[in-house]
């Protein structure tokens, strides 16, 4: 018996999924649109999980990796307790630079915990906060998590991020220097924290929404900004951001990964993940943090 062919995923399908997860398209409208693009509802049903993130995908660094000490923690935010996931190398006793990992609009899920473990193995004390802590924590239902993220008050979220930076600066396992990296929704928050926290040591934003041009003058931290070449929605703001950074004499690098889609770092999304772009962006990120936080 012939093996069933894997459905072909085109850019229009990826764009429709982006519209569904970040803009105004609801799930029913998304599936209707995907069915038209795929040729049938049956094909759409097969393609949809390939576009989405798969929580069952195996972690790159195991949760019980003996090289690491990991722990779910609770710390004081700006207006209440914040939940988070902390990771650091088990055989290191000295103080390390700190890195905050900010999740996508799906919340603090298994993939972001895995990213935290990967970064810890690079030689950092890592904290991945749950910005849905005030809502009881990240739910397992991704659609519900996205709805909760969309309902967050932006100013309160920024305040929680600033409080997280301050918490890690004073943490006994850190050298007092804190970097922050984030993906998608979290990438936008990285830019917001760069504007609002003069204590931030370095920021790395993956395909994140840009801040207002008039706020760029407040940025103190060096920035590394990763963008996907096919991500027209986010990329529309690159030129304006670049000009504002240049006009204000800021330290920054902008890297655009041609042929890559939004969320190219997320290896749990079959259709959008790019190993080539992800590996290159990761190596640049690690080198950037070591340069500015050590």
Query: Tens digits of per-residue pLDDT, 216-226?
Result: 999 999 999 99
| Average pLDDT, integer, range 228-242 | 97
253 and 116 within one domain: yes
pLDDT at residue 81, as a whole number: 96
226/257 Cα distance (integer angstroms): 8
Among the ranges 17-26, 126-135, 265-274, which has the highest mean pLDDT value? 126-135
pLDDT at residue 18, as a whole number: 73
pTM: 0.87
Domain-embedded: residue 246: yes
For residue 87, is pLDDT > 90? yes
Residue 225's SS3 state is strand
Secondary structure (DSSP) of 61-90: S-TT-TTEEEEEEEEE-SSSEEEEEEEEET
Domain-embedded: residue 250: yes
203 and 73 within one domain: yes
Q: How confident is the model at residue 243 (pLDDT cuts 50, 70, 90)?
A: very high
Q: Which of 4-18, 39-53, 162-176, 184-198 has the lowest mean pLDDT?
A: 4-18
Domain-embedded: residue 84: yes
Domain-embedded: residue 5: no
188 and 128 within one domain: yes
Q: Which of 32-41, 200-209, 253-262 has the lowest mean pLDDT?
A: 32-41
For residue 56, is pLDDT > 80? no
27 and 169 within one domain: no
* Cα–Cα distance list, 168 to 85, 125, 213, 285 (Å): 13, 9, 28, 19
pLDDT at residue 16, as a whole number: 75
pLDDT at residue 292, as a whole number: 98
pLDDT at residue 23, as a whole number: 64
261/258 Cα distance (integer angstroms): 9
Tally of domains within the chain: 2
Q: How confident is the model at residue 271 (pLDDT cuts 50, 70, 90)?
A: confident
241 and 207 within one domain: yes
263 and 129 within one domain: yes
Domain-embedded: residue 171: yes
100: containing domain = 68-293
Q: How confident is the model at residue 32 (pLDDT cuts 50, 70, 90)?
A: confident
130 and 34 within one domain: no
pLDDT at residue 24, as a whole number: 63
pLDDT at residue 268, as a whole number: 87
Please tell me the total number of residues recorded for the chain in this structure: 294
199/163 Cα distance (integer angstroms): 11
160 and 113 within one domain: yes
Q: Which of 27-36, 85-94, 105-114 has the lowest mean pLDDT?
A: 27-36
CATH number for the domain harbouring residue 257: 3.40.50.1820
Across all residues in the chain, what is the average pLDDT?
91
pLDDT at residue 54, as a whole number: 67
What is the per-residue pLDDT across 106-155, written as a single tens digit (0 to 9) for each? 999 999 999 999 999 999 999 999 999 999 999 999 889 999 999 999 99
* Cα–Cα distance list, 34 to 94, 162, 185 (Å): 52, 40, 24
Domain-embedded: residue 162: yes
| Average pLDDT, integer, range 241-261 | 98
Domain-embedded: residue 61: no
- Please give the structure tokens belonging to residue 2: 């012939």
| Average pLDDT, integer, range 199-205 | 98
206 and 97 within one domain: yes
28 and 124 within one domain: no
Which residues, 6+ apart, have CB-to-CB distance to 151 below 8 Å?
Answer: none
Helix extents (H) in the chain: 11-22, 27-38, 41-51, 110-121, 142-150, 154-170, 185-196, 232-235, 238-247, 275-293
Strand 96-102 vs strand 68-76: parallel, antiparallel, or unpaired? unpaired
45 and 123 within one domain: no
Domain-embedded: residue 85: yes
| Average pLDDT, integer, range 248-267 | 96
142 and 99 within one domain: yes
For residue 64, is pLDDT > 90? yes
pLDDT at residue 2, as a whole number: 45
């Amino acid at each position: 018996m012939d093996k069933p062919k894997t459905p072909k995923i085109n850019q229009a399908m990826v764009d429709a999924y982006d519209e569904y997860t970040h803009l105004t398209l609801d799930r029913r409208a998304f599936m209707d649109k995907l069915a038209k693009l795929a040729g049938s509802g049956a094909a759409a049903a097969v393609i949809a999980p390939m576009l989405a993130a798969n929580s069952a995908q195996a972690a790159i660094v195991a949760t019980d990796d003996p090289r690491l000490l990991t722990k779910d923690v609770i710390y004081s935010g700006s207006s209440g307790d914040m939940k988070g996931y902390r990771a650091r190398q088990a055989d290191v006793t000295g103080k390390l630079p700190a890195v905050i990992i900010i999740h996508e609009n799906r919340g603090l899920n298994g993939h972001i915990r895995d990213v935290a473990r990967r970064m810890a193995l690079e030689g950092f004390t890592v904290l991945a906060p749950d910005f849905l802590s005030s809502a009881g924590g990240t739910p397992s239902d991704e659609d519900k998590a996205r709805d909760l993220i969309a309902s967050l008050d932006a100013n309160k979220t920024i305040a929680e991020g600033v409080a997280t930076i301050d918490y890690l600066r004073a943490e006994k396992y850190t050298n007092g220097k804190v970097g922050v990296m984030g993906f998608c929704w979290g990438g936008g928050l990285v830019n917001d924290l760069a504007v609002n926290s003069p204590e931030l040591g370095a920021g790395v934003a993956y395909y994140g929404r840009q801040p207002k041009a008039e706020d760029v003058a407040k940025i103190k931290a060096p920035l590394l900004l990763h963008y996907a070449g096919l991500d027209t929605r986010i990329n529309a703001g690159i030129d304006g951001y670049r000009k504002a950074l240049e006009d204000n004499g800021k330290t920054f690098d902008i890297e655009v990964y041609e042929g890559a889609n939004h969320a190219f770092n997320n290896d749990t999304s079959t259709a959008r993940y790019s190993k080539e772009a992800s590996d290159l962006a990761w190596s640049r990120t690690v080198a950037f943090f070591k340069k500015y936080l050590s």
